[in-house]
Structure 1
Amino acid sequence: MTSDHHMVWRRCVHLGRVLLPLVDQEPWRQDRRRENLRAWGIDTGVGERLIEIFAALAAHAVAVDGSVPAAEFDALAVSTVAEAAIGKQDYELLAGLPGTFVDDRDEHAVKVFRLYAYEGDQYSRQLIRLSREVRHALVVLAERSPAPSPTCGDVFRRAAEAGLSQ
């Protein structure tokens, strides 16, 4: 993997990690999400980590499809990432991922996602539900933005303002 590709993946992971804390600025949203996860039989810790990595995978798929260099990643529209979360097949989200991961948490989350994708049946339904949660969270962030078409860079700026570190 080239260093630029590695930097794109790191930006994607950062997007996934700041997503829920930014959405949860309205505490009722966290409660609703956790109720949904429990109702679907998904452990909340596992579900929220899968939502994070799902958002990273969707952003990565958009970046790879568009051959977006790391220097231009912040210009990706949040709406495009949101649509990729529900519009791409599981295997499309897994394409082009790094062979090795700097963070063991990311590697583990990708492996769990991969397991869900390949198991089928109830796990496929879980991924569909999680994809909707990812899309919903991204749409919420986009709707809160004063920018007419918010980008990943706008999300990163809001995360920095909220004290969410890289």
Structure 2
Amino acid sequence: MSKRHERLRAWDIERDAGERLIATLGALVLHSLVSDAVATGSPRTVGVLHGIPLAAVAATTARPDFEILAAVPTAHTDPDEQAALNYVRLLTYQSGRTGPWLPRLRTELHHSLITLMGRSRLGTPTCADLSTWVGQARPT
């Protein structure tokens, strides 16, 4: 069992749900960065997304929830995406047992990005590099 899965279990977060939430947070952070780039005049293209350094993605994980969620559309055509987004929105307002989940999951996302950058042979890996690594890691 990975250390991350051990931490998820210690936090009473089911492993698959935790992984989905981490992926959702990653997508929201990327959306936030692309929205920032578009606001400063860049086109909304895959090229803009691919050009974002992973260091910027890691730094953005520290943004307050409302900043990450600000530019996200309220409705999605994919029901799974909509459910994941709704769950993250709910977690931003939670207290009690689930209150610390979102900050902990953002920390996991940040740690994963820092680890990837540290293991990279590239000086400044970007989202394009991450996309390549994911493609190489998937079984065919």
Normalising by structure 2, report the TM-score.
Answer: 0.87
The alignment status of 1:72 with 2:43, answered yes or no, reads no
Q: Percent of counterpart pairs with the same letter?
A: 31
More helix per residue? 1
1:13-92 to structure 2, matched below 5 A, reads 31-67=2-38, 68=42, 69-70=44-45, 71-85=47-61, 87-92=62-67
After superposition, residues 1-166 of structure 1 pair within 5 angstroms as 31-67=2-38, 68=42, 69-70=44-45, 71-85=47-61, 87-163=62-138
Instruction: Report deviation, 1:141.
Output: 1.3
Counterparts of 1:90 and 1:159 in 2: how far apart (Å)? Answer: 26
The separation in 2 between residues aligned to 1:45 and 1:159, in whole angstroms, is 18
Assess, with a 3 A threshold, how the Cα gap between structure 1 residues 164 and 141 changes in structure 2: closer, same or farther. farther
Question: Relative to 1, partners in 2 of residues 1:122 and 1:37: Cα closer, same or farther, differing over 3 Å?
Answer: same
Which residue pairs with 1:13 in the alignment?
A: none
Give how far 1:73 is off.
1.0
Query: Contact (CA 8 Å) 2:22, 2:105: kept in 1 or not?
Result: yes
Letter in 1 for 2:16: G
Distance 2:77 2:120 in 1: 31
Do the aligned residues in 2 keep the contact of 1:37 with 1:47 (CA within 8 Å)?
yes
Give 5+ residue unaligned stretches, structure 2. none
Deviation at 1:74, TM superposition (A): 0.1
Determine if contact 1:73/1:152 at 8 Å carries over to the other structure.
yes
* Length, aligned pairs only: 135
Contact 2:22-2:106 within 8 A present in 1 as well: yes
- Taking structure 1 as the reference length, the TM-score comes to 0.74
* Cα deviation 1:15-53 (Å, max 9, x = unaligned): xxxxxxxxxxxxxxx621111011111111211110000
> Which runs of 5 or more structure 1 residues have no equivalent in the other structure?
1-29
**Aligned 8 A contact 2:91 2:102 in 1:** yes
List structure 1 segments (4+ residues) > 3 angstroms apart after TM superposition: 120-124
In structure 2, what is the Cα distance between the partners aligned to 1:121 and 1:61? Answer: 28
Please tell me whether Structure 1 or Structure 2 has the larger radius of gyration of its CA atoms.
Answer: 2
After superposition, the Cα gap between the structure-2 partners of 1:113 and 1:164, relative to the gap in structure 1 and judged at 3 Å, is farther
